[in-house]
Amino acid sequence: SWLVRCVDSMTTHAKRAMGQKKKMIKVTKTLVEKPRRESVVQRFAANLTEVELAEVAALQPPIEFGTPMTLRARLKGGYMRANPDTGAADGNGHVFDPSSNWMFEPVEPDDADS
């Protein structure tokens, strides 16, 4: 640990002597809305033949509407749940927690755009 700190301080002094400066990152609060792109699934499906599409459809069973499902929250490592205090989704759920069950419902194509 002493050796690592010594080498680190020596490299820092050497970089400063050569003129390297710290990089500053400017943080703005401007929200930039990107244009919506075509779905990856749609682009992938457009390049497949009928046989390949049938194989992909056979690999994963379709999600049935109205069936409770538990979703994994990738960032926090827990399960997605509806937080009763804020009314928002967070990643602090547990496997058999009733607030961690999500129902999928069909959406009209006109409603999905809004």
- Of the candidates 113, 77, 74, 114, which has an alpha carbon nearest to the alpha carbon of residue 94? 77
Residue 49, pLDDT above cutoff 70: yes
Section 4-24 average pLDDT: 86
- Please answer whether residues 109 and 79 qualify as being in contact, where contact means their C-beta atoms are separated by less than 8 angstroms: no
Q: Is the pTM of this model over 0.75?
A: no
Identify the DSSP state of 26. -
- Percent of the chain scoring above 70 in pLDDT: 77
Residue 82's pLDDT band (cuts 50, 70, 90): confident
pLDDT of residue 91: 75
Per-residue CA distances from 23 to 18, 20, 65 (Å): 15, 9, 50
- Of the candidates 68, 70, 95, 100, which has an alpha carbon nearest to the alpha carbon of residue 84? 100
- Of the candidates 105, 107, 81, which has an alpha carbon nearest to the alpha carbon of residue 93? 81
**CA–CA gap between residue 15 and residue 5 (Å, rounded):** 15
Residue 113, pLDDT above cutoff 70: no
What distance lies between CA 2 and its chain's CA centroid? 39
Residue 111, pLDDT above cutoff 70: no
- Phi and psi torsions of 81, nearest 5°: -145, 160
